[in-house]
Structure 1
Amino acid sequence: MPRPRKYASDPGRWPACVRCGDGYPKPTRWPEGLVCRYCVRAARTRQGTCAHCGHQGILPGVAPDGGFLCAQCSDVPLGVHCKRCGDEAMTTDQSICWRCLLAVRVSTLLAGPDGAIPEPLQPLAHAIINMPRPNTGCTWINQNPRVRELLRGLADGTIALSHEALDGLPASRTVEYLRGLLVTHGCLPPRDEHLASFDRWLTPKLDAINDPDQRRLIERYSRWHLKRRLRDQARTAPVTAGAFLRAKQHLTVATQFLHWLGNRGRRLDECTQHDIDAWFGNGTTTRQHANNFLYWAIRQRLVRNITLPLPTSRTSPLASEDEHLNTLRALLLHDTLPAAHRAIGLMLVLFGQPLSRIVQLRTDQLRDGPDGLQVSFGSDWLNVPEPAAAVIRVHLTARPGLNTAANPTSQLLFPGFIPGRPMHVHAVANILRAIGIRPLAARSRAWLQMIREAPPSVLANALGISATTAMCYAERAGTDYLAYASISKR
C-alpha cells in the first residue's frame, strides 16, 4: 500500500513532476527534469536488475522504454550506498540503510548501565537487527512507545528477565509479543502459555470466594484435578484453547454450585439427592458443567449417596451437500481471503480436521513430490487434491510473519502473531464464519462423506482420531461397519 502523502498535489502552484505529473513543494532536479519528493523516495527504495547493464541493486533511474536503471546508467545524483556500512541498499532520509538505523536503535535501547548490551539479551538484539525486513523493525520500535519502555527496562534491570516479571506487568499484546521473542531466541525458557494463563486467572478467582471452606475446596479441586489434567496434556503437546476454556468453565460453575448450596444452608458433605435434582432441574444448561466437580467430589468421598444425571447429548450441526460445495467453491475462488485461511478451511472441508489441530500443523507434515502434495494427520500420508493443493502451495511460499524477528525459522505451518505460537483458533474460526462457513457443520459433512468410502478404523488411523469417534460418525451416516469393530480393538 502506498505511503500516505503529507502534502496535497497542486500543479498550479508547484512545477509538475516529470515522473508522476503531480506538483509538490521542493522538487529535486535530476537529468530528466524536476522530480517530486515522493518519486525520489520511491527511487531510493526500488530494488531489482538494471535494464541496461544487469546490475543487481537500487534502481533510481527510469529508461525511455519504462524499464528501471541503476544510478550509474541513469546518472541520477542519488546516493545509493549507506554512509555507515557502505553497502548498496535502501536508505533512509539520513542516507544510512535501514539495517544500520535499526542496529543503532536496538543498541541504544538495550544498552545496560555499562553501555553494552547485557549478554542474556544479545540473542534478542541479534535477531531484531538481522530480521529480513529491517524497516519493519524500525517501524515497530518507533511507533510503539511500550516497546521502547520494555526494552529499556530489560536492559537496565528494572524489569527482570523472567516470566514472573513479565506476568507482573499490565497485560498487553506488546508484553506477550516480547515474551514470545525472548522465548523464541533462547533468552527465556519455554513454557505452556495456556497453563500459565490458567494460573494467573485462578488467583483472583480464589480471592473472590468469601467462604473459607468453599475457597479451600475449590483450590483443592483446581490444584489436584483441573491443573493436573492440564499439566498432563502439556507434557506431550501444548494445552489447547478448548481444554483451557473448559477448565475455566468447570471451576466457575463449581464455584457457583457451592455458593448456591451454601445459600440453601448446606455444605458439600451435606448435599442430598434433592439438592442435586434442584440444581440440574433449574437454571441454564451450563449447570451441566458442575458434573465434572461432582464426579471428582464423589471419587474423593466428599459427597455420598447421590446420583448425577447423564449429560444431554448434542448432535453437531451438519452442512448440506449444496452448502458443502459452496464452501469449497468459496475457499478455492475467494480473491480477498489470505491464502493461510483458505488453506486452513480446505483442510477442514476435505479432511474433517478440527481447527485446533489444523493450526498446530508443522511444515514437516506436508510434502510435495511426484505423487503431488501430501499431508499427514496420523499414521499415513494423504493426497491433497487439486486445485486445493495449489492454494496450500501459495501459502507455503509466503507464510505470514517470516519477515520479522518473530518467526524467522518457524516450523509452524500457520505461524501466528505471537512468536512461536500458531494462529489463534478462535480468530481463524471467526474469519471463516464471516464468509459464511460454519466450521463444525463443514467438519461433520466432510466426515459423513469420508465414512461412506472407508471403514472407521482405517480413517481413524489415517486421520489420527479415536476409533470411537469414527464409529459415531459411521452411525450418523447410516453405514454398517460393525464388521470392522474387531479391527479397531486390535
Structure 2
Amino acid sequence: MAAVFRQEEAGPLCPECAGLNFAYRCPACGAMGRLLHGQCPRCRALQELDETFAGPDGQRSSQLAPLAEVLEQYEQPYSLVLYLRRPGGQLIRAMASGDLECSHEALDAQTASVHHLRGLLVLAEVLEPREEQLAQFKRDIKVCLDEVTDPHDKTVLARYARWHLMPLAHHHLERSGLNRFQREHLRRKLQTAHVLLTHIRRRGTTLDSVTQTLVDRWLIANKSRQNQARSFLLWAATCHLIPQNVAIATAIRTVDRSIMSDADRILTALRLETDESEHITDRVAGCLVLQYGLRTDRLVNLTIDQFLVHPEEPGVLGLQLGRDPLWLRPRLSALLQRLINERRPLAAPLRTRETPYLFPGLRPDQPMTSATLQRRLTRLGIPSTSKARNGAWLAMVGAVHWKMLADLLGLADGTAHNWHKLNGGDRASYVASRLKASQAPKGPE
C-alpha cells in the first residue's frame, strides 16, 4: 500500500498521484535508505569534509590532512555533518583557506569550540602538545597585568606572579597535573592582589607605607578574599615590600561533616551493582564513592596500571591507591572488568583509540573531568559526593584501624586519624578527661 502524502476531500492522496517522486537510492554509492541533501549520510559527510578542508586551490589542505583522517573515523555521519557546520567546522575552514593560522596562539584568540578542536589537532600531530592549563594561566596573568595602570603596581604584580604563583603552578604540574580548579585558585590570588593594591593606591598611600588599619578596613568589605590577600602580604613581607608588622590572620574554614545515611548509601550502591539500565562508567564510579569514599578527582585519574588481579582468588580485582592493595568485592570486581574492556573516549571520532584511563575524557590522552563525573553521579541519586564519602569513611573507621585504612586508600595519616576521632574511636582521651575531672586540685595550679 502506498504511503499517504496528503488528505483531500476525495480521500487520501499518494505521492505518485500528487506528482512527487521520492528517491531512496544514493546517486554516489547506490546505497538504499534515507538521503541527506540528495546523498546517503556517509557520502554527504565525506563531501562536507572535502568542502571544509578545501584550500585556495580547491584541494584538501596538506597541512590539515591528518585532522581530516581523524574526522573520517566518526561512527555517525550525521554527527560529523553537524560538527562541520558548527563553529568547530568554521575554524577548520578558516585554517584551510589561510584566514586563520594553524597554531596555538591563533586558537587562543578564538572563543567557541577551541578546546575540542585543539585536542583533535594535537591528536593528529598537527600541533605540538602543551600543558593547556599552564598556558591558560599565563594568559590570565597577561590579562590581569594589562588592566593595571600604575607602573609600580604592575611591577609588583609581575614579580608576584613570576616568583610566587608560577612556581606553585609548576609544583602542581609535577605532582599530579595542574587542573582547572587549581588554575582558578591561582588566578584569584593574583586578582585579589590587584584589588588590594588598587585600594591602597586610591587611599593615597603606597605599599611600603601601608598600615594595619587600612588592611583591616579593606578586609571588612572583602572578607571572601582574606586567604588570597594573606598569601600576597606574606610574600610582600618576605620581599621587604611592606612593613613587617602588617599581617592578615588565616580565615577559619568550617569542614562539612554532613553524611549520607548508611541505609541510603548501601541501598544505592546495591542498586548500582545490579541495575543494567545505567551506564557502566557511572555504576563503577558510584560504587567506589559509596563503598570506599574515593574522591572524584582521584577516580578520574585512575589508570590501568593501578589495577591488580588477586593471585589466589580468580575474578577478584584490586586498586593500588596507597601502600597496600585494596581488594574489591566480587560483584564490583566483575563491573570493573567490564569497564576496563568497554571504556572508550567520549569524542565520537576517537572511540577506536586506546586510552590508559579508566574514565577517559574527550581525548584518549586525558581523563574525564571531576566536575563531569560529579554531575553524572548526581543523576544516579547520589545527592552529594562529599556526603557519600563522609558516610563511607565514618563507617570504615569503625571497622578498620585508621592506619590500615590510610595505607589502603592512600589517605594522609592525619585525615584518617581525624575521622577515627570523629567516630569516637579515641577512647583513651575520653578516659583521661574523666580521670582529670574526678581529681580535685589540692592547691593552686
Unaligned runs of 5+ in 2: 429-445
**Deviations along 1:201-258, whole A, 9 cap, x unmatched?**
3333222233332222222212221122112322454312321121122222222222
Aligned residue for 1:287? 226
**Deviations along 1:437-469, whole A, 9 cap, x unmatched?**
212222222222233344444433433333333
In structure 2, the CA distance between the partners of 1:157 and 1:10, relative to structure 1 (3 Å rule), is: same
What SS does structure 2 have at the residue aligned with 1:255? Answer: helix
2:135 pairs with 1:189:
no
The one of 143, 147, 158 aligned to 2:99: 158
Cα pair 2:281 2:359 within 8 Å, conserved? yes
Aligned residue for 1:309? 249
Alignment of 1:300-339 (within 5 A): 300-303=239-242, 304-319=244-259, 320-325=261-266, 327-328=268-269, 331-332=272-273, 338-339=279-280
Aligned residue for 1:140? 83
What is the alpha-carbon root mean square deviation over aligned residues? 3.8
Aligned residue for 1:270? 209
Moved more, 229-238 or 291-300: 229-238
Cα pair 1:180 1:419 within 8 Å, conserved? no
Aligned residue for 1:462? 408
The one of 418, 421, 432 aligned to 1:475: 421
Aligned residue for 2:186? 247
Unaligned runs of 5+ in 1: 1-6, 16-23, 28-35, 42-77, 483-490
1:427 deviates by 3.4
In structure 2, the CA distance between the partners of 1:250 and 1:333, relative to structure 1 (3 Å rule), is: farther
1:131 deviates by 3.5
1:94 deviates by 8.3
Query: CA–CA distance in 1 between the matches of 2:201 and 2:271?
Result: 53
Cα pair 1:194 1:240 within 8 Å, conserved? yes
**Deviations along 1:239-282, whole A, 9 cap, x unmatched?**
12321121122222222222333344332222333344444466
Aligned residue for 1:64? none
Alignment of 1:14-413 (within 5 A): 14=12, 25=15, 84=29, 92=35, 98-141=41-84, 144-169=85-110, 171-172=111-112, 174-280=113-219, 283-303=222-242, 304-319=244-259, 320-325=261-266, 327-328=268-269, 331-332=272-273, 338-366=279-307, 370-389=314-333, 391-392=335-336, 395-396=339-340, 398-399=342-343, 401=345, 404-409=348-353, 410-413=355-358
Moved more, 105-114 or 186-195: 105-114
Q: What is the one-letter code of the residue matched to 1:415?
A: P
Q: What is the one-letter code of the residue matched to 1:451?
A: V
1:293 deviates by 1.3
Query: CA–CA distance in 2 between the matches of 1:451 and 1:90?
Result: 61
What SS does structure 1 have at the residue aligned with 2:348? Answer: coil
The one of 325, 347, 372 aligned to 1:427: 372
Query: CA–CA distance in 1 between the matches of 2:179 and 2:241?
Result: 30
Q: What is the one-letter code of the residue matched to 1:452?
A: G
What SS does structure 2 have at the residue aligned with 1:374? Answer: strand
Aligned residue for 2:436? none
Aligned residues: 414
Cα pair 1:327 1:437 within 8 Å, conserved? no
What SS does structure 1 have at the residue aligned with 2:63? Answer: helix
2:392 pairs with 1:446:
yes
What SS does structure 1 have at the residue aligned with 2:349? Answer: coil
Query: CA–CA distance in 2 between the matches of 1:199 and 1:26?
Result: 65
Cα pair 2:405 2:416 within 8 Å, conserved? yes
**Deviations along 1:100-144, whole A, 9 cap, x unmatched?**
543333233223334443443222111111344444323322xx3
Cα pair 1:99 1:130 within 8 Å, conserved? no
What SS does structure 1 have at the residue aligned with 2:326? Answer: strand
Cα pair 1:111 1:155 within 8 Å, conserved? yes
Aligned residue for 1:53? none
